A = this chain, B = another copy of it.
Amino acid sequence: MTGIGFEILARDGAARAGRLSTAHGTIETPVFMPLGTAGTVKAMTPEGVAATGARIVLGNTYHLMLRPGAERIAALGGLHRFMNWPHAILTDSGGFQVMSLAALRTISEAGVAFRSHLDGSRHLLTPERSVEIQHLLGANITMAFDECTPFPAERDQVEASMELSMRWAERSRAAFTERPGHGIFGIVQGGVHADLRHRSAARITEICFDGYAIGGLAIGEGQATTFAMLEATVPALPADRPRYLMGVGKPADIVGAVKRGVDMFDCVLPTRSGRTGQAFTRAGTLNLRNARHADDPTPLDPECRCPACTGFSRAYLHHLTKSGEILASMLLTAHNLTYYADLTAELRAAIRDGRLAEFVAPGTAG
């Protein structure tokens, strides 16, 4: 097998239930990929992540290139071994985070020159270097290096940025070394302009990738616009390849995107919320810091199979959250990732059963 396998098992409208095949196992889609930013899903052991049902996590090129360094991780046997994660890994290209975190950024045709937010050291990230870093990390899915166009922006800026990302996509593809069970995804840009999205999708498809990501959305444009852009983009992408909506999102965003043909997602929401006392439940989103939970002996979500819900009361989780205990982050992150894993499992079942149209994310209005 060269590249990443993708088999479509069922369809329901534009949605698909499928299976990705990588050198580190298979992944059922639609799938939510937890963030393993700096080589760890924050507040979770690898066993704990796998227990939620996750079989793929995301690693961040920007964070890992700066600390501990891609060459170091390669010398230690790659990211899978470094973080003791035997399942699949997708890495981002660094393009998004270099723009949001680094200092003194200078974009040129070559790439992005910047200074580390950790120690001020100088770095240059190019399509070729980004793909090399992701190779050193051992990513099963490498992402093409792109510029995430800011929102809002003038149309001609968006167009120029998208065209730059397309040239970088071509260079990224050329820099990628084919290996069995490893692949590279291209990224569609084009802001909130349907025609630019369409042109970008056509160009990315022409370059030919293992899968196709939709970038530059969910950055402030609103859900209706996100969905409109998906409707403009997805039909222009190859029907037999996986589609990945980057950085999305809330449960209802994921359901809406699956209905529009998206297969893969990542988002900071379940993990970050878990560290600030927010929990996603089948009865809605709860803030565990709220005093109304102080005497509540019931579990967070009686239908949930996670360690927080099977072992503890809301009163205890409230106490941990109020007390700033690390166990609060551990339990609520496990819970939120379980909610997201179960949400995608329920979406897969709904697609197989042909009842996706009426599917609503548990605990949300739609």
Q: List residues of chain B with CB within 8 A of the CB of A175.
A: none
Q: What are 29 of the A-B contact pairs (CB < 8 Å)?
A: A38-B319, A39-B316, A39-B320, A40-B320, A40-B325, A42-B325, A42-B326, A43-B326, A43-B327, A43-B330, A45-B311, A45-B327, A67-B319, A67-B322, A68-B294, A68-B315, A72-B295, A76-B295, A76-B297, A76-B316, A77-B297, A82-B315, A82-B316, A83-B316, A84-B312, A275-B326, A326-B326, A326-B329, A326-B330
A313 contacts the other chain (CB 8 A): yes
Bound together, the chains give a CA A325 to CA B47 distance in angstroms of: 17
In the assembled complex, how far is the CB of residue A66 from the closest CB belonging to chain B, in whole angstroms? 10
In the assembled complex, how far is the CB of residue A175 from the closest CB belonging to chain B, in whole angstroms? 26
A249 contacts the other chain (CB 8 A): no
A362 contacts the other chain (CB 8 A): no
Given contacts A82-B313, A84-B311, contact A327 B44 (CB under 8 A): yes
> Count of chain A residues with Cβ under 8 Å from any Cβ of B?
39
- Taking CB as reference atom, which chain B residue is nearest A41? B327
Closest 9 CB pairs of A and B: A43-B326, A84-B311, A68-B319, A40-B327, A38-B323, A40-B325, A76-B315, A82-B316, A76-B297
- Taking CB as reference atom, which chain B residue is nearest A312? B84
A46 contacts the other chain (CB 8 A): yes
| B42 engages A327 (CB within 8 Å) | yes
A107 contacts the other chain (CB 8 A): no
